[in-house]
Structure 1
Amino acid sequence: MNTDHADPHELAELGIALDADDAGESALGWSGVYAFEAEHGIVLPEPYRTLVAEITDGSFSGPPEYGLLSVAEMPNDWGDDRPARILSLDFPLTEAWLWEEDPRPYEELQPLLDPVFDHGSIVLGTDGCGMYWHLIVTGPHRGHIWNISGEGAAPFGAEFGYTTGTSGFLGWVRHWAAGKPWFDAP
């Protein structure tokens, strides 16, 4: 997973998978990407960064189920009462966490949960029912995709045991484009 350099063949594959055939008209442009990154104190991981700048900043075709959101957009069901999102703070997890099964009381868990939803990631979109896909932009899992829901959080990639898909944005899109279920590991 290369998060520092975009491969032209991979970008072409992403454009086809995301049905981005408007000659880059829906792209944010490099000035827009640089402004977003400066505002949030981050550098987006590749190949997502170049995709947003040159090919498309979102896609109705998906992934996920309800489409790929624009880099600055939040899902309609995200809620207005959430804490401020701070993308420059490290995403706090490096392994799956099912807080639904955590024996600690909610009062103890709540301060640990907000950073999982709101630090170090951009929200790529939703599959509905509070199931969000995040691209991690800071911390040890930079470039990885995570599924975060009301029950827990888990990384996407074969090495984590929930899927046969390859880690990273390209692997996530390839898995979806192949019509595979997200959690298809035996």
Structure 2
Amino acid sequence: METEHARPDDLAALRAAFDADSCEPPLGWDAVRAFEAEHGVVLPEPYRTFVAEVCDGSRVGPPAYGLTPLAELPDDWGDDRPRRVLAEPFPLTEAWLWEEDPDPEAAEPVLDRVFDHGSIVLGTDGCGMYWHLIVTGPHRGHVWNITDVGAVPFGAEFGHTTSEPGFAGWVRHWAAGGEWFDAA
């Protein structure tokens, strides 16, 4: 998974996956750099080039309710969440089902960081299921599914899917009609 340089084959796959009629106009490089400066991050490739040159959000998936524009949150995100801090590292490196955590009170401080630190929200599949692109920390460039019961990284190396990790792998999987969690 390449996070520093956009590979031409990844960009071609992203362009092919999103219908221009359903896409919001790309932001352009000045707007992307301004967003990065404001939040103290550099977006991982190929997502960075995608929002600058191809599409900043889409009315069709992935995820189910469309790809959320870079500077926005899904409509069902809620107004009572803590302030999002993209420059703070995303705290997880492996799947975590907090619903099954034996010490839920100890888990509480980490929960807000899972939802609100080190990631941008790509969109929702509804019912509190959000897809995040990690922008800081050890999992920079990976896509995670974060729900009300737990968080799971996307990609074959994590055992839940047969697809490549990262934004391009996530989009390719969706465009091919794959089930999100298709590993046996």
**Per the shorter chain, which TM-score range?**
over 0.9
1:92 is matched with which residue? 91
1:61 positional shift: 1.7
Between 10-19 and 42-51, report the one with greater CA deviation.
10-19
Going from structure 1 to structure 2, the CA distance change for 1:25 and 1:184 (only over 3 Å counts) comes to closer
Distance 2:162 2:24 in 1: 34
In 2: Cα distance, 1:80 partner to 1:60 partner: 22
TM-score (norm 1): 0.95
* Kept after mapping to 1: 8 A contact 2:24/2:57: no
Give the aligned residue type for 2:10: E
Shift of 1:7: 1.8
In the superposition, the TM-score normalised over structure 2's length comes to 0.96
Partner amino acid for 1:161? G
Aligned counterparts of 1:7 and 1:174: Cα–Cα separation in 2: 14
Aligned to 2:126, the other structure's residue is in SS state coil
Q: CA offsets per residue over residues 142-173 of structure 1, 9 Å max, x none?
A: 00000000000010000101111110000000
5 Å-filtered alignment, 1:19-168, equals: 19-20=19-20, 26-105=25-104, 107-168=105-166
Report if aligned partners of 2:44, 2:140 keep a CA contact under 8 Å in 1: yes
Where do 5+ consecutive residues of structure 1 fail to align? none
SS for the counterpart of 1:113 is: helix
Matched with 2:16 is 16
Match of 1:176 in 2: 174
* SS of residue matched to 1:122: strand
Alpha-carbon deviations, 1:63-103, whole Å to 9, x = none?
Answer: 00000010111011111110000000000000000001111
Bigger shift: 25-34 or 130-139?
25-34
Structure 2: which 5+ runs fail to align? none
Give the letter aligned to residue 165 of structure 1.
Answer: S
Q: Structure 1 runs of 4+ off > 2 angstroms?
A: none
Amino acid at match of 2:11: L
Aligned residues: 184
Asked if the contact 2:86/2:136 (under 8 Å) is kept, the reply is yes
| Contact residue 15 and residue 21 of structure 1 kept, 8 A | no
How far apart are the structure 2 equivalents of 1:89 and 1:95? 18
Distance 2:24 2:158 in 1: 36
CA contact (8 A) 2:60 2:66 kept: yes
Tell me the amino acid that sits aligned with residue 127 of structure 1. Answer: D
2:8 and 2:85 map into 1 onto residues whose CA distance is 31
User: Structure 2: which amino acid aligns with 1:89?
Assistant: E
Shift, 1:21, TM fit: 5.7
* Identity fraction in percent: 72
Coordinate RMSD, CA, aligned: 1.4
**1:12-48, CA deviations, whole angstroms, 9 ceiling, x for partnerless residues?**
21011011369x9700000000000000000000000
